[in-house]
Amino acid sequence: MLRGKFITFEGGEAAGKSTQAKRLAARLEGAGLGTLVTREPGGTPLGEDIRGLILKDHPQEPVTELLLFAAARAEHMTSVIRPALDEGTWVISDRFMDSTRVYQGKHYRIEREFISQLEKYTVAPDYPTLTLIIDLPAEVSMERANTRGTLSRYDAARLETHQLLREGFLEIADSEPDRCVIIDGMLTPDNVEAAVWQAVNERLLAKVL
């Protein structure tokens, strides 16, 4: 049996990741492909508990947060993502390792080499096949996050922080063009959905259907 493909959505706060993860899943299901939508941090009971800890207790030390994310990711990969891919299911994750690279690496300046090592033990060899980076100007990201109601720590962050996070995602797209596609998050939800679908078709479906 053909292995499933692993697709991740990345980007700043309120870029439209969760909205588009669901829409893409519906399209893939429509094309007859078994699909699983999951999210990070989270994805397993243990991972959801860790998500709760991070959101509730706001670790003071960035390394604490990095290690909690890594722990959740290891479980997620081993007990959910990899088994699903093995049985031919397509997996869509709402945030994944690039968020760690950007938030803990670029924003909190934790050494890239340490983060890469953690990826090696938590993700390898099942790195995402395709990463859709929804890109939004920092001002818009801030504005949408503020009107969404519940504010995470990053939602409430300053403009410069949103700017830095945006740059971080764009740098990843630039350095790994085979894996990443930048999607314009300023389009209407329907048009973002169409751009996502086009990327998935070009990069993945053309090869399997």
Q: What is the contact surface with ligand ADP in residues (CB under 6 A)?
A: 13-19, 144, 148, 187-189, 192
The full length of the chain comes to 209
Q: Choose among Mg ion, ligand ADP, none what residue 60 binds, the Cβ cut-off being 5 to 8 Å by kind.
A: none
Among 3, 4, 16, 18, binds Mg ion (CB under 5 A): 18
88: CB partners within 8 A, 6+ apart = 1, 2, 3, 4, 34
Output 153-162 pairs: Cβ under 8 A, ≥24 positions apart: 153/58, 154/13, 154/103, 155/13, 155/14, 157/13, 161/107, 162/12, 162/13, 162/138
Closest distance of CB 42 from Mg ion, Å: 11
Instruction: CB nearer to Mg ion: give 18 or 79.
Output: 18
Closest distance of CB 83 from ligand ADP, Å: 25
Residue nearest to Mg ion (CB): 18
Closest distance of CB 203 from Mg ion, Å: 23
Residue 48 class from Cβ within 10 Å (0-12 exposed, 13-18 middle, 19+ buried)? middle
Closest distance of CB 122 from ligand ADP, Å: 22
Q: Choose among Mg ion, ligand ADP, none what residue 84 binds, the Cβ cut-off being 5 to 8 Å by kind.
A: none
Closest distance of CB 140 from ligand ADP, Å: 8
Instruction: CB nearer to ligand ADP: give 46 or 187.
Output: 187
- Name the residue among 81, 85, 84, 114 with its Cα closest to residue 100: 114
Residue 19 makes contact with Mg ion by CB under 5 A: no
- Name the residue among 91, 170, 171, 75 with its Cα closest to residue 123: 75
Footprint of Mg ion (CB under 5 A): 18
